[in-house]
Structure 1
Amino acid sequence: MADPALLVHTRTTDYRHESIPAGIAALRALGGFEVHAREDQAALEETLDRYAAVVFLSTSGDVLTPAGRERLAAYVEGGGGFVGVHAASCTEYGWPYYGELLGARFAGHPPVQPGRALVEDHDHPATRHLPPVWEVTDEWYDFRTSPRPSARVLLSADESSYDGGAMGDDHPLAWCRTQGEGRVFYTALGHTVEAWDDPLFLAHLRGGITWAAGR
């Protein structure tokens, strides 16, 4: 039996992360999924039912056409999986539904630096392999609001461990939620090229994708 397929969308109309090619290569190397990496808007205008999940890998700006927005919403509401990685929260600011789907929108970040991520929920495939305190070097995203009211927070930032955090004691970094019949997973990590060689980060992402895909 063929592996289930992922649509990995990497279109950017704003900042473009140099880690995108490393991310695509790492997702292909994870195994268990057939990865279809696309940048064209037509990718989201086609039928999405053949995909176990749609992954927005550091997308930025407005990346979808009206038809693509309609397809994606119908896909998730009908039971499809959606995964947002890093700059996926800097995407589709003009589409209110997308903010609801993801759970929070990007607000800003300090410079890339080491810090501590704290596991809030070990009972999830994206976090059960992680140490309670995970030392990470990344771009520590702040969000306009906490996703906590509508999401299950898995990982949060310890703002005392780095400079420039702006959310205080409630600073989620990775979470999951349901939208209609679908499952949504988001992680703010994945800025650096080096992150995509980190076994802990790759296992974190594999767990989130597997969960979102219902596997």
Structure 2
Amino acid sequence: MIRLAIAFLALLAPGTAWAQAQYKLLVLAIPNKYHYEYIPIARDSLEHLAKLHAFEMVWTNKTETFDGDLSQYAAVMFLNTPGEELNPAQRAKFEAYMRGGGNAIVVHRAAITPAGAWPWYERLVGRRVGVHPMLQTGIITITDSGHPATFGVPDRWIWSDEFYTTTNPYKVNISTVLSVDENSYDPRKIWPGQVSLPMGRDHPIAWHHDHEKGRVFVTTLGHNGEMYRDPQYLAHLMGGVWWAATGMPRR
């Protein structure tokens, strides 16, 4: 009986090996005034993607996680949670992680941080987000069809979101992945007392670049909870995760 049990376990071993995670992703998601309802939906969807694509995901709403060993993570995702949530010591740990070859994914609200409060993080994002027009339906176009964050979306993608307007005070070079066609919505439509100006033909809404010794993927899409159930949005996000964590596919 014991021999049979050992033989049975031996048969299981190869399958277990194949199921090992390819890499480990840390997701920081802290609820805030405008972004909280997405959290259970996004967590469920990302857990599904992790199982489907054989990676390990660590989900946290505690910045204390950044006090630990970040080198175990292939990438860190700031999900609707800007870096300003980190205290000075945690910011230093994250900077050291990126200098050591770590990688980052910045999603929607995480791209917004007070101007000048943490210049290093602004450079990591690659753009400074100002005011933005109201959530509207517009047409997103693919700028870089070779990037995996575009593989699951159409060439002209009808999408409803807050299409952030950005500036580049630190002169960071980015590679645009997706743009938005300002002729498909009203870039001036905003709340009373505020002013939103068009960016023109060059209006990136998802991009990537290198920062320190790591890769950074930024998508400004992902305002409300239902988006984290949408297959095309999740394909876009998964493509960004895969690229940031692994650098694949090589081009």
Under a length normalisation based on structure 2, what TM-score does the superposition of the two structures give? 0.79
State whether residues 107 and 220 of structure 2, in contact with CA within 8 Å, keep that contact through their aligned partners in structure 1: yes
Q: Deviations over 1:111-139 (max 9, x none)?
A: 21211011001001111332211110111
- Look up the equivalent residue of 1:8 and give its one-letter code: V
Residues 46-100 of structure 1 show CA distances to partners (whole Å, capped at 9, x for unaligned) of 1101111100000147201111111111111211110001011113641100000
Question: What is the match of residue 230 of structure 2?
Answer: 198
Q: Does 2:235 correspond to 1:174?
A: no
1:36 aligns with 2:58: yes
3-state SS of 1:101 partner: helix
1: distance between equivalents of 2:157 and 2:134? Answer: 19
- Provide the rounded CA distance (Å) in 2 between the counterparts of 1:39 and 1:92: 21
Q: Structure 2: how far apart are the matches of 1:13 and 1:65? A: 17
In structure 2, which of residues 125, 139, 163 is the aligned counterpart of residue 116 of structure 1? 139
The 3 A distance-change label for structure 1 pair 183 and 27 is same
Equivalent in the alignment of 2:191: none
Higher gyration radius (CA): 2
Q: 1:170 to 1:58 in 2, by over 3 A?
A: same
Match for 2:211: what amino acid? Q
Residue 186 (structure 1) aligns with: 218
Shift of 1:203: 0.8
CA distance in 1, matches of 2:206, 2:170: 10
Instruction: Say whether the 8 Å CA contact 1:12–1:60 is kept in structure 2.
Output: no
C-alpha RMSD of matched pairs (Å): 2.0
Change over 3 Å in CA distance of 1:91–1:17 after alignment to 2 = farther
Residue of structure 1 equivalent to 2:35: 16
**Distance between the aligned counterparts of 2:46 and 2:186, measured in 1?**
31
Q: How many residues are matched?
A: 215
Q: Please say which of residues 173-182 and 84-93 is displaced more in the overlay.
A: 84-93
Where do residues 38-187 of structure 1 align in structure 2 (5 Å cutoff)? 38-60=60-82, 62-91=84-113, 93=115, 94-145=117-168, 149-164=172-187, 166-187=198-219
Percent identity between the two aligned chains = 40
Counterpart Cα distance in 2 of 1:153 and 1:147: 17
Q: Which amino acid aligns with 2:47?
A: R
Contact 1:83/1:184 (<8 A) preserved: yes
- Structure 1 distance, partners of 2:240, 2:92, is 24
Task: Pick closer, same or farther for the CA change 1:155–1:57 going to 2, 3 Å.
Answer: same
Q: Distance in 2 between matches of 1:40 and 1:76?
A: 20
> 1:20, CA displacement in angstroms?
2.6
| Alpha-carbon contact 2:151-2:235 (below 8 Å) kept | no
More helix by share: 2
Consecutive unaligned residues of structure 1, counting only runs of 5 or more, are none
- Alignment check: 8 A CA contact 1:56 1:84 kept: yes
Moved over 2 A (4+): 11-18, 144-149
Question: What do residues 17-70 of structure 1 show as CA deviations (whole Å, max 9, x unaligned)?
Answer: 422332222111112322211111211121101111100000147201111111
Q: 2:110 and 2:120 mapped to 1: Cα distance?
A: 14
5+ long unaligned stretches in structure 2: 1-16, 189-197
Contact 2:83 2:121 in 1 (8 A): no
